């Protein structure tokens, strides 16, 4: 079987462009020099002829200088000015600015390298801010969970006392229900704040995802929706804690079920990829990507950075604590990966978990 040929880079080379145009310029100069030499005896007979010859030579030189200047500006100085303008804009805080294509292969490669460096620096800055946020919120969460846990236990004891003394069952049930909600939040806070054991077991991520789907399916959580799975062959192993990463996929699936609603669709895809902007890993590192998509309303572009903040939720009051995605991001980050949110082909949100292959 004949393999398809890789597409050629149609962008011209700066070296080729310069050599071609300079060759054309040199050929033109040589041709005009020959013509001038042939016409010189005719112009040399009187002062008017000499003046015309001088004007012709000056005109030829002016044309070549103008063409050379245009050539240098078009191929060198203008692309360089645009590149410098883009880098200065990024340095001044316009973080979305990128160096434009220049029209020649060498400058396009330079612009691409600058853009990749900019994205890498911005991602490193984002990781640093995220790590500081995780540390500060983790300390706060541990303190809040400890302080809330004690009175919560007391409330549970008083509810039991009221139940034994024949209190109003509806009131007791309401108090118990709200106390359970607080207990769920406290446990989530502890999960978020608790230091994790540094386990780096070799894991079959596809099997972990299948386990998460099977677990929720057995509980009946997936009955209102249609779930499709696509798993690539020959996936590399990722390294981490089995229970923690399985909980990551459970949380993402639960969010997808809530977003899709009854009759909605969920797609789960697992495949290998070349990781980019992973913590402490060079670009191109072998990685496993898990994409969980839904057919819900999606996540607005202006909210995509905030969905991973603790206690931020787009769900109706009482339907979520706002800690699920925060725990997902922290867990994935602990094992050198990243989580990205985008738009799904199904019309809703798409969450992509990228985990590097090989131990940290």
Residue 223 is part of a domain; what is its CATH number? 3.30.565.10
**6: pLDDT strictly greater than 50:** no
Cα end-to-end distance, the chain, whole Å:
40
Q: How confident is the model at residue 197 (pLDDT cuts 50, 70, 90)?
A: low
- At 247 the pLDDT is 87
Instruction: Find the mean pLDDT for residues 294-318.
Output: 76
Task: Tell me: do 208 and 346 sit in the same domain.
Answer: yes
Structural domain includes residue 32: yes
Structural domain includes residue 60: yes
Cα 351 to Cα 343: distance, rounded to the nearest angstrom:
8
Structural domain includes residue 4: no
Structural domain includes residue 237: yes
Domain that holds residue 313: 201-356
Task: Tell me: do 247 and 337 sit in the same domain.
Answer: yes
- State which of 193, 214, 237 marks the end of a domain: 193
Structural domain includes residue 241: yes
Task: Tell me: do 288 and 172 sit in the same domain.
Answer: no
Higher pLDDT, 125 or 215: 215
Please, what is the Cα angle at 253 between 143 and 306, to 5 degrees?
Answer: 50
**137: pLDDT strictly greater than 90:** no
Structural domain includes residue 44: yes
- State which of 137, 171, 193 marks the end of a domain: 193
CA 333 to chain centre: 14
Domain total of the chain? 3
Task: Tell me: do 166 and 250 sit in the same domain.
Answer: no
Task: Tell me: do 45 and 83 sit in the same domain.
Answer: yes
Bridge partners of residue 289, in order along the sequence? 271, 354
- State which of 69, 103, 137 marks the end of a domain: 103
Cα 258 to Cα 223: distance, rounded to the nearest angstrom:
12
Task: Tell me: do 209 and 187 sit in the same domain.
Answer: no
Structural domain includes residue 117: no
Task: Tell me: do 222 and 350 sit in the same domain.
Answer: yes
Distances (CA, A) of 123 to 12, 96, 129, 286, 330: 32, 12, 10, 19, 16
Selection from 291-300, 310-319, 328-337 with the highest mean pLDDT: 291-300
Pairing of strands 238-240, 201-203: antiparallel
**103: pLDDT strictly greater than 80:** no
Task: Tell me: do 144 and 263 sit in the same domain.
Answer: no
> What's the half-sphere exposure (Cβ side, CA atoms, 13 Å) at 280?
8
Task: Tell me: do 187 and 208 sit in the same domain.
Answer: no
Which pLDDT tens digit goes with each residue over 323-336? 778 888 888 888 88
Selection from 2-6, 263-267, 332-336 with the highest mean pLDDT: 263-267
**Among 39-43, 147-151, 287-291, which stretch is predicted with the lowest mean pLDDT?**
39-43
Q: How confident is the model at residue 87 (pLDDT cuts 50, 70, 90)?
A: confident
Structural domain includes residue 116: no
Instruction: Find the mean pLDDT for residues 112-134.
Output: 75
**79: pLDDT strictly greater than 50:** yes
Task: Tell me: do 279 and 331 sit in the same domain.
Answer: yes
Task: Tell me: do 227 and 273 sit in the same domain.
Answer: yes
Task: Tell me: do 160 and 217 sit in the same domain.
Answer: no
> Is there a contact between 250 and 216 (Cβ–Cβ < 8 Å)?
yes
**23: pLDDT strictly greater than 70:** yes
């Amino acid at each position: 079987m004949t393999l398809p040929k890789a597409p050629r880079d149609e962008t011209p080379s700066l070296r080729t462009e310069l050599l071609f145009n300079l060759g054309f310029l040199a050929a033109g100069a040589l041709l005009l020099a020959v013509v001038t030499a042939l016409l010189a005896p005719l112009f040399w007979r009187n002062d008017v002829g000499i003046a015309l010859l001088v004007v012709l030579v000056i005109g030829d030189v002016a044309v070549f200088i103008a063409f050379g200047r245009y050539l240098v500006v078009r191929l060198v100085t203008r692309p360089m000015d645009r590149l410098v303008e883009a880098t200065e804009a990024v340095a001044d805080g316009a973080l979305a600015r990128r160096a434009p294509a220049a029209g020649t292969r060498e400058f396009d490669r330079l612009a691409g390298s600058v853009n990749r460096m900019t994205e890498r620096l911005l991602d490193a800055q984002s990781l640093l801010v995220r790590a500081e946020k995780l540390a500060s919120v983790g300390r706060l969460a541990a303190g809040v969970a400890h302080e809330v846990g004690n009175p919560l236990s007391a409330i549970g004891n008083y509810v039991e006392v009221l139940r034994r003394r024949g209190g109003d069952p509806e009131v007791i049930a309401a108090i118990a229900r709200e106390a359970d909600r607080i207990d769920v939040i406290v446990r989530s806070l502890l999960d978020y704040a608790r230091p994790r054991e540094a386990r780096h077991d070799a894991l079959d991520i596809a099997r972990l995802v299948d386990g998460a789907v099977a677990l929720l399916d057995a509980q009946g959580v997936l009955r209102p929706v249609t779930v499709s799975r696509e798993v690539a062959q020959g996936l590399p192993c990722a390294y981490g804690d089995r229970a923690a990463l399985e909980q990551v996929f459970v949380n993402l699936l639960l969010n997808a079920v809530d977003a899709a609603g009854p009759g909605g669709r969920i797609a789960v895809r697992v495949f290998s990829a070349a990781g980019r902007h992973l913590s402490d890993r060079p670009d191109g590192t072998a990685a496993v990507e898990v994409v969980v998509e839904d057919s819900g309303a999606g996540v607005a572009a202006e909210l995509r950075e905030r969905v991973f903040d603790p206690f931020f939720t787009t769900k109706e009051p009482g339907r979520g604590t706002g800690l699920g995605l925060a725990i997902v991001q922290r867990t994935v980050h602990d094992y050198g990966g990243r989580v990205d949110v985008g738009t799904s082909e199904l019309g809703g949100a798409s969450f992509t978990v990228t985990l590097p292959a090989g131990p940290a």
